Every structure is written in C-alpha cells, then in structure tokens.
C-alpha cells in the first residue's frame, strides 16, 4: 500500500525543507513530484532579520501573508493599468 501526502516545501541550500513538520522517521526514502508555483513569493524571499519569524509561522499564517502580498501586487498592477488608460483618454488627438 502506498500512502500519498501533499507537502509544501522550500528548496534551500540544495535541500527540500517542508514548511510543516512531517510524521516520518529519519532517513525514510520518499518519492515526490514537483509542482512549482509561478508568481508567488516563497519563504526564501524573507531573508535576513525576518527569516526566523517566517519559519515560526503556521502554514495558515504563511498562506495569509502570501495572499496579502498577492492582493497588494494585484491592486498595484490594476492601479497602473487604470492610470495608463486614464492617461490615454486625456491625450489630445
């Protein structure tokens, strides 16, 4: 029997590090398939002074931070797009 588990991890220093603890014995051999999320910020982006705090967050807290950042980026992009169209509307022909 094969148990399947979805695990979110960060790739850092040549090693995949799960974002949450796993109930697996040390040195357990596993096989996995990678799915890389395009356009999202991963914990590696939070280097330096923020890294210890980021690593202490729960999965749900990490997701909330990432969602907030994504929403802020979308809002900024929408504002830039609206500004572009508004400047086009004000141009004299």
User: pTM here?
Assistant: 0.37
Domain ranges of the chain: 9-89
pLDDT digits (tens, 9 = 90+) for 24-57: 899 888 888 887 766 555 555 555 556 677 777 7
Rounded CA-CA distance 73/20 in Å is: 26
Residue 18 predicted with pLDDT over 60: yes
**pLDDT for the residue numbered 13:** 80
Assign 65 a pLDDT band (cuts: 50, 70, 90). confident
Asked whether the beta carbons of 19 and 43 are under 8 A apart, the reply is yes
Share of the chain above pLDDT 70, in %: 72
């Amino acid at each position: 029997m094969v148990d399947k588990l979805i695990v979110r991890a960060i790739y850092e220093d040549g090693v995949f590090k799960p974002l949450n603890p796993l109930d697996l014995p040390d040195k357990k051999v596993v096989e996995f398939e990678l799915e890389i999320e395009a356009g999202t910020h991963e914990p590696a982006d939070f280097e330096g002074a923020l890294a210890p705090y980021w690593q202490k967050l729960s999965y749900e807290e990490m997701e909330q931070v990432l969602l907030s950042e994504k929403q802020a980026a979308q809002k900024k992009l929408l504002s830039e797009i609206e500004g572009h169209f508004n400047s086009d509307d004000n141009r004299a022909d």
